[in-house]
């Protein structure tokens, strides 16, 4: 890792945000091989030499040409049952839509396979307790279940995590994210069918990485407001602006802000992490990647290898494989990511209530039934 500094030394130049794989990186099968698997999962695995035993999708036409595009694919399965029964499969990469994903995870665990499940883990409050029990059952069976929170391994965010773990900013005081970029196509897409979509889905990675940066403090209160904005077409059913505020038990706060469909020739997603001893400033996505650490006396700037797409996807798989190699829980295990799910569900409930504060610890299933 290379650091350029305005001070005499670069004390954090040895940190490296790149994916770290063990020697054994084979035995992966992809269950659900749609657009995200084809555009991110498979290119990441090809780039990093991950052995893909095979793939399955509901539509045979979806996967028919994949072996010619990605020669490393071993086979195309005729059914998910065939995939789960294959003794060569060690890890099932579940890239199906959110609805019904829990059943696929359970089936993989029952088959004795380790799992990397796509995010969001769930958007259904009724599934939270079932996922708690599933995580406990998987642990008892010696099966690891991780969630593809690939944003954690986006190079600027990953290096920020490493700096915070090294104590570079002291205790975190606040985190701020701003979307200074256009929105992807939303009107007329499946995203428009998801209530409070910006809060429930689009901001998932931002909520997840921010919750991690606030650790060991615990997010206890969430406020979220989403609004329609000038220029938003009537055909777009979801609001195009959202602001989510997280309040931790340490007194630290975080703000995640999407202003709308930003008009800019230089799109970026800047972020700041302020601490008691320093500040991290950076940006992620769309060629805007940058990161610096300011300790009050000088600034240490970091060169960032790779990009979120596809290195972040490789990082999520690498962490699961490394955890298996080291016989430990992966950092993106279900038990950890359920914290992100609870914060996300609290944010959705707050947006539904016009921005009223919501207690994260109040069970989401109970909130769903509250007046």
Residues 279 and 134 in one domain: no
Q: Give all strands (DSSP E) within the chain, no chain letters.
A: 3-5, 28-31, 52-56, 91-94, 114-118, 145-148, 172-179, 219-227, 241-248, 253-258, 269-275, 279-284, 290-294, 299-302, 358-359
CATH of the domain at 143: 3.40.50.720
Residues 197 and 239 in one domain: yes
Q: Looking at the domain assignment, is residue 165 inside a domain?
A: yes
pLDDT of residue 6: 46
Q: Looking at the domain assignment, is residue 127 inside a domain?
A: yes
What is the distance between the alpha carbons of residues 42 and 54, in angstroms, rounded to a whole number? 11
Taking residues 194-207, report their average pLDDT.
95
Q: Looking at the domain assignment, is residue 16 inside a domain?
A: no
Domain boundary among 107, 135, 151: 151
Q: Which domain holds residue 350?
A: 152-306+332-368
Cis amide bond preceding 362, omega within 30: no
Angle between the 101-110 and 128-140 helix axes, to the nearest 10 degrees? 10
Residues 275 and 211 in one domain: yes
pLDDT of residue 1: 56
- Structure-token pair, residue 21: 């794989």
Q: Looking at the domain assignment, is residue 239 inside a domain?
A: yes
Residues 137 and 66 in one domain: yes
Percent of the chain clearing pLDDT 90 (strictly above): 88
* SS3 assignment, position 224: strand
Cis amide bond preceding 120, omega within 30: yes
Residues 124 and 200 in one domain: no
- Structure-token pair, residue 341: 């799910």
By the 10 Å C-beta count (0-12 exposed, 13-18 middle, 19+ buried), 188 is classed as exposed
Mean pLDDT (the chain) is 94
Residues 225 and 336 in one domain: yes
Percent of the chain clearing pLDDT 70 (strictly above): 95
pLDDT of residue 8: 36
pLDDT beyond 90 at 188: no
pLDDT beyond 90 at 348: yes
pLDDT of residue 158: 98
Asked whether the beta carbons of 207 and 244 are under 8 A apart, the reply is yes
Q: Looking at the domain assignment, is residue 87 inside a domain?
A: yes
Residues 39 and 67 in one domain: yes
pLDDT of residue 11: 76
pLDDT beyond 80 at 371: no
Which residues does 142 contact at the CB level (< 8 Å), separation at least 6?
Answer: none
Tally of residues, the chain: 371
pLDDT of residue 86: 98
Q: Looking at the domain assignment, is residue 18 inside a domain?
A: no
Domain boundary among 116, 151, 186: 151
DSSP state of 11: T
pLDDT beyond 50 at 186: yes
Sheet holding 290-294, edge to edge: 3-5, 299-302, 290-294, 279-284, 269-275, 172-179, 253-258, 241-248, 219-227, 358-359
pLDDT of residue 305: 95
Taking residues 314-334, report their average pLDDT.
98
pLDDT beyond 60 at 369: no
Residues 220 and 101 in one domain: no
Quote the number of domains for the chain. Answer: 2
Residues 137 and 161 in one domain: no
Q: Looking at the domain assignment, is residue 317 inside a domain?
A: no
**pLDDT tens string 103-133:** 999 999 999 999 999 999 999 999 999 999 9
Domain boundary among 151, 176, 200: 151
CATH of the domain at 258: 3.30.360.10
pLDDT beyond 80 at 370: no
- Structure-token pair, residue 14: 């040895």
pLDDT of residue 7: 43
Sheet holding 114-118, edge to edge: 52-56, 28-31, 91-94, 114-118, 145-148
pLDDT of residue 9: 43
**pLDDT tens string 214-267:** 999 999 999 999 999 999 999 999 999 999 999 999 999 999 999 999 999 999
pLDDT of residue 57: 95
Confidence of residue 365 (pLDDT cuts 50, 70, 90): low
Residues 112 and 174 in one domain: no
pLDDT beyond 90 at 207: yes
Residues 229 and 178 in one domain: yes
Which residues does 261 contact at the CB level (< 8 Å), separation at least 6?
Answer: 182, 183, 229, 231, 232, 240
Q: Looking at the domain assignment, is residue 273 inside a domain?
A: yes
Residues 168 and 190 in one domain: yes
Residue 250 CB coordination number (10 Å) = 16
What is the distance between the alpha carbons of residues 232 and 247, in angstroms, rounded to a whole number? 30
pLDDT beyond 80 at 10: no
């Amino acid at each position: 890792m290379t650091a350029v500094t305005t001070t005499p030394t670069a004390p954090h130049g040895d940190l490296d945000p790149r994916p770290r794989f063990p020697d054994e990186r084979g035995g992966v099968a992809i269950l659900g091989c749609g657009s995200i698997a084809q555009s991110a999962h498979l290119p990441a695995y090809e780039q990093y030499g991950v052995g893909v035993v095979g793939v399955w999708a509901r539509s045979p036409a979806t996967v028919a040409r994949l072996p010619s595009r990605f020669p490393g694919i071993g086979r195309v399965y005729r059914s998910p049952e065939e995939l789960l029964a294959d003794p060569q499969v060690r890890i099932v990469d579940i890239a199906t839509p959110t609805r019904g994903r829990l059943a696929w995870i359970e089936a993989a665990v029952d088959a004795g396979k380790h799992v990397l499940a796509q995010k969001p883990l769930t958007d259904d409050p009724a599934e939270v307790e079932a996922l708690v029990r599933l995580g406990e059952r998987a642990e008892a069976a010696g099966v690891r279940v991780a969630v593809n929170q690939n944003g954690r391994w986006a190079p600027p965010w990953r290096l920020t995590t490493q700096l915070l773990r090294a104590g570079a900013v002291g205790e975190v005081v606040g985190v701020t994210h701003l979307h200074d970029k256009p929105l992807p196509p939303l009107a007329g897409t499946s995203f428009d069918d998801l209530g409070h979509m910006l809060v429930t889905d689009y901001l998932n990675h931002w909520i997840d990485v921010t919750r991690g940066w606030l650790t060991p403090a615990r997010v206890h209160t969430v406020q979220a407001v989403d609004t329609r904005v000038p220029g938003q077409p009537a055909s777009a059913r979801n609001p195009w602006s959202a602001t989510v505020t997280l309040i931790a038990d340490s007194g630290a706060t975080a703000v995640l802000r999407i202003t709308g469909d930003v008009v800019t020739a230089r799109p970026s997603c800047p972020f700041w992490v302020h601490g008691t001893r320093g500040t991290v400033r950076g940006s992620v996505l769309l060629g805007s990647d940058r990161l610096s650490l300011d300790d009050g006396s000088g600034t240490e700037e970091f060169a960032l290898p790779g990009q979120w797409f596809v290195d972040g996807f490789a990082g999520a798989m690498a962490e699961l494989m490394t955890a298996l190699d080291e016989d430990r829980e992966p950092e993106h295990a279900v038990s950890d990511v359920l914290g992100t799910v609870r914060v996300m569900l609290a944010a959705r409930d707050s947006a539904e209530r016009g921005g009223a504060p919501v207690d994260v610890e109040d069970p989401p299933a109970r909130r769903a039934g509250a007046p």
